Chain A
Amino acid sequence: MFVRGLKRKCFDGEEDIEGTLAGIKAIPSYNLQRQSLLDMSLVKLQLCHMLVEPNLCRSVLIANTVRQIQEEMTQDGTWQMINTQSTGQASLDRLVSTDILCRSSREQAEGKHVPGYSTFSKDFEGDQAQDSSETMSTASSMQPPRNLQSNVWEMENPQENKGNFQKSLDQIFETLENKSPNSVEDLFSEVDNSYYDLDTMLTGMMSNTKMGHCDGLETFSSPTTAGSNSNCKSDLNELDHIVEILVES
């Protein structure tokens, strides 16, 4: 019944936590739970049955849940902290997020970033991007008081986790901000479209090829607009590995 590695009692037993832990400790725990809920939701959105049209009601409810979490995270400032690190454009990030795509399910289950992020970003709405960029720009003007909270958040998460989180979110933002229907179609013309366009996803439109997650590698070889800088060197080796794969394919 439970995905391996995920915290067994998400929000279940929340009462215990609130009762026994003091202020600051309780907050990150809630953040972690919220994060795992977000991860789970993104995975769910991706795991549509390939053969039959996905259940629209379920998809909409999950998408609404994700939106709700993101809005709350934006208000908390945790979202904003991530965004301040995003700069520049680099196809580097595209490749990095491809790496995330190809991570084994074992790694995903450990709470790191699930492939869902990069593909999810495609099918999340354009106007949603407007909303989140706007809220983020207002949030960034309030930066000083937020730092405290974001420091707490930083301490709580392992460095790698945060870095990955940033990368994936950057991936989402750049796609959200810069997506236009045509470019998306060009990018993914050979790929199963259903993940990358909300409309088609929800109506179950699919192109001929049904590709697994890792086949998405091809699509990332063409640089697109607005990447963001990652600052995790450990991923450079993985990058080389990926470039190899891309070149070979």
Chain B
Amino acid sequence: PEETVTSSFASFIHGVQPKQLSKAVCHRSKRMILDSIGVGLVGSRTHVFNIALQYCRELYSSAAVSSVYGKPGVKLSPTLAAFTNGVATHSMDFDDTWHPATHPSGAVLPALLAASQMLPPSTKPNGLDFLLAFNVGLEVQGRLMHFSSEAHNIPKRFHPPSVVGTMGSAAATAKLLSLSTAQCTHALGIAASFAGAPMANAATQAKPLHMGNATRLGFEAALLAARGMEANPSILDSIPGCSGFSAFYSAYEPKPLAVPSDHHEFLLEKQDIAFKRFPAHLGMHWVVDAALSVRNLFINYAGSFSSSLIRTVVLKVPVSKYINRPSPSSEHEARHSFQFNACTALLDGEVNLSSFTENSIHRQELRELLDKVVVEHPEDNVANFDKMYGEVALLLHSGDVLTGKCDTFYGHWRNPLSRESLLKKFRSNASYVLSDEKIEAIIATVDNLENLSDSSQL
């Protein structure tokens, strides 16, 4: 049978071995796992998480074996646990981002955690199997995004985690469950029918559902495939007159994955992840760093920060409608507002979890500063996480102009978080729901993941 793109993916998922994971890939993916768990833990304190959990608990759960972030003692059926944890992970927009753009870990980790608890003791996957499955989930997402040039820029139509995330989850769980090549093919095919949510729900409370569903439905696709469900075996290929996975893109050019030889090069090796320092859309991180740098200049100039000296704040950012909000009224909108994040950074000298509380969002001094903001879209500022920049200029009443610019924020893949910074973020997040002991235990477990004998301990 001739090699189709779809069958090459299935062969990869089925055939790739732990020894093919390079050191760099192991290292980077473990950082992602730690960050994702931390973000999921702190996310378990959000309103949207509570609704998702309440909804899932009301659904009859005949096999309640899988745990939920931040709720010791609560168990749900595996796919619902994956859903709830996926929602937690993305609830504050605090999770990792890749290039081309998606949030890869939240779509894969919850499903794997839930699945590992589902398997009987005799067949529990070890830490290395787990790490491999996780990387399969990432790799599939990355490869799919390379099939369309649309994917390189900040999205406009479908929210990428809902498109490639679902596929990644299906691939990762298919790997963990050791499905046959044919079953892997069908898992991908079924997952495509569960993929795809429009961008318009970004910046609303519904956006975290995208992640929850990506990880849950991809998992479901693998479970269905394991029970013999079949789909179109060429789902990833170009089928003229009848769209498969290509339905989610206007230009789509798939390519087969190389058969795993001794040296499969994982995309994560070539392209690292960005971790967020505060819970808001990735684009905000550039303007915040730019705002912080101009704030320093201001303090040198005037002794302390005072908005009354400012006439206008000019933001130079790329064009992207869903993150351009002059006056956000909810936490979800605030996390997707260049203006809000710049002003918060100017006023407070930092942006953190509490910047997005109701009180912080509606405070008077912030609203006053927001009124002074003007947004510009320079032509050279491309809506692309690899190329964009953020510039904040303060036009003072005195006539002076102070400018700060950021090309690469701290946490971006070009300037990755140090181990200390990453651990600091994890400890801070996890401390909302876990004891210090447990926090350190998780750090140690993830650090040593390859040597863990039973990954369901995680």
- The answer to whether A and B assemble together is no
